[in-house]
Amino acid sequence: MKTVTQRFIKFTALNTMSNEDSKSCPSTRVQLIFAYYMAKECKSMGLSDVKVDKNGYVTARLPKNAEGFSKIGFISHMDTSPDASGEGITPVITEKYDGTPIVLNGVTLSPARFPVLLNYIGQDIISSDGTTLLGADDKAGIAEILTAMEYLITHPEIEHGDISIGFTPDEEIGRGADFFDVEQFDCDFAYTVDGGKIGELEHENFNAARAKITIKGVSVHPGFAKGIMKNAALIGTKLAARLPVDETPSKTDGYDGFYHLTCFNATPSQCKMSYIIRDFDKDSFEKRKATITNIVADLNEKYDNIIELNLCDEYYNMSEKIKECMHVIDLAKRAMEECNIEPIIRPIRGGTDGARLSYMGLPCPNIFTGGHNFHGVCEFIPVQSMEKAVEVIVKIAQLGKKP
């Protein structure tokens, strides 16, 4: 058997960054290449019904070896975030971490900055070399699922039902479930393996929307601009200033929602802005969207309709669907406890493929991979946390008798 670490290190070598500006699915060709590589990996270890569809979704199945079990799925995404480079990743393994700073290329993983490191003294820490992200989000999840499946194959004495696995493209740009075939996946419920630190078990997430704003200004020579110029850049700053200053990611936590300005490109002639809008409560979510809509309407009245707003929902809080089948959470919680892991049940301040899949008829909470500091060059994951994730997946399969 390959270890989960061996698999993970091998997978990180392959660039799978997604691209929000692309209209194709997958959004990048490298993801499709990786999808076929994953299919080959699945076949080589003995999984059946291995498929890669035209959109790059990979599915495979481990047939049941006993009766009376639920049909369970495990899902992870193949793409890495475009927020930091995912090309040329060179993992660094710090064995038996001693609690001192880990010095990388231009970056230091220090307990002073990341106190959580002190939880892993004596363990083996995998990071990037400091110039790229690591890719634990979510290649750690893929490696953990495959290692668990291989363990079940090589230990036929462990009884389980039909298990399906799925690897999706473009999760990081909000499209991971766009073409997921829930009917073909054929599961009673599933888990995304896409969480953070060891023990995380999540069945609440943000309601999410994205606002794209284009301001078409009127630019003339500044010496002759009185009564004529409409400075798009300046109007953009006025729009941003109308939103609550304390409702941003850096000033919110827990169940707080926020507005997050993700892009601002401006000249006097044109300004393009992008916001993501997040809230756990559906009514508050609708109010946030209304706030941006009303601000744009007010500024359009003042500046003769020069602002265009494209506002669209991305996903919703899965808790509305999971609350109807809490045995799925109870199963994961019991599996963690039997693996000597304390479950950490808390809301995801983000989203997963599982949020949309839950609304597509496949209840799909999220469990940990073990990683920290996703989407940046300070990302790291302890080897022992990945190994525990493998144990939990195996245990869920083993305990998955029909309620």
Q: Which stretches of 262-382 are DSSP H helices?
A: 282-302, 319-322, 327-338, 353-359
User: Could you tell me if residue 244 is left (phi over 0), alpha (psi between -120 and 50 degrees) or otherwise beta?
Assistant: beta
- The first and second tokens of residue 353, run together, are 């493929």
Cα 403 to Cα 348: distance, rounded to the nearest angstrom? 26
Hey, what are 205's tokens? 């997430």
Q: Provide, for the chain, the percentages of residues in helix, strand and coil under a 3-state DSSP scheme, each rounded to the nearest 5.
A: 35, 25, 45
List C-alpha distances in Å: 351 to 179, 368, 384: 17, 13, 25
Taking the CA atoms of residue 333, residue 334, residue 339 and residue 344 in that order, the dihedral angle to the nearest 10 degrees is 20
Query: The tokens 């799909």 sit on which residue?
Result: 364
C-alpha to C-alpha distance for 262 and 348, rounded to whole angstroms:
19
Name the β-bridge partners of 201: 345, 367
Asked whether the beta carbons of 156 and 65 are under 8 A apart, the reply is yes
Q: How many residues does the chain have?
A: 403
State the Cα–Cα distance between residues 25 and 31, nearest whole angstrom. Answer: 9
How far apart are alpha carbons 359 and 284 in whole angstroms?
20
Residue listed under structure tokens 């490191």? 117
Q: How far apart are CA 315 and CA 279, in angstroms?
A: 11
How far is 254 from 68, CA to CA, in rounded Å? 39
Verify cis geometry, omega within 30 degrees of 0, for the bond prior to 26: yes
**Residue numbers annotated as active site:** 79, 171
Instruction: Quickly list DSSP for 17-74.
Output: B--TT--SSSSSHHHHHHHHHHHHHHHHTT-EEEEE-TT--EEEEE--SSSSB--EEE
